[in-house]
Structure formats: structure tokens, C-alpha cells
Amino acid sequence: MNQKARLAWELYLKMETSSESFSLLQLIANDCYKMGQFYYSAKAFDVLERLDPSPEYWEGKRGACVGIFQLILAGREPRETLREVLPLLRNTGNPQVEYIIRALRKWAKDNRVSL
């Protein structure tokens, strides 16, 4: 909640797999989402979804990825971040992902952003 999402993510990466690391991952995913730190939220939701493919984690990841795109459109996130969003989206079995990826690719093509 203190706008230091990168530091929280780095702390998670240093931890051994445990219930504490899972709890930290949930905290990062949800608090970063609330604070508009969508990049780290998406990364955390991606890991959570791979550990437990429940709809809740897909919905969080989908919302965070769309949030990143909104920040890119608003000029508050580098356009190149889109390159990191697509692999996160592809890490799911949800059929909605194709519609989202298609929209992101079209925008990237129309705005000369190489993916």
C-alpha cells in the first residue's frame, strides 16, 4: 500500500515456497490492484493462478492486465510494458484471453508498438 510494489515482489522472489510466501503473493496481488500498481498485481495473480487455477485469480489477472493497458493509454506506463503483459495473459486456459490479446495486438499495430 506504500507504492513500493517492486520491493514487495523482490521479497516474494527471495522466499522459499510456503504458506507465508503464498500469503505474501495474495497480499501483493490484491493491495497492488487496489493501489493501481497493476504490473506487479498481474505478476502476482499470474503465479497464484498457476498454483490454483480458480476463476478468482484469472479475474484478478485479467483486471490487472487491462489496468496496465489503461495506464499505457493514459501515458502513465511505458508502451513497451505491453510486451510483458501478453505472456502473462497466455499463461491461462481461459477462452476470454484470445479476445483480450486480439484487442491489445490491434492497438499495438495501430500505434506502431512492436510486440
pTM value is 0.93
Q: Which amino acid is at 23?
A: S
The domain ranges of the chain are 5-111
pLDDT of residue 83: 94
91 phi/psi in degrees, rounded to 5: -75, 25
For the chain, the average pLDDT equals 94
Q: Summarize pLDDT for 41-86 with one digit per residue, the tens.
A: 999 999 999 999 999 999 999 999 999 999 999 999 999 999 999 9
- Set of cell numbers at residue 97: 484471453
Asked whether residue 104 carries a pLDDT value surpassing 90, the answer given is yes
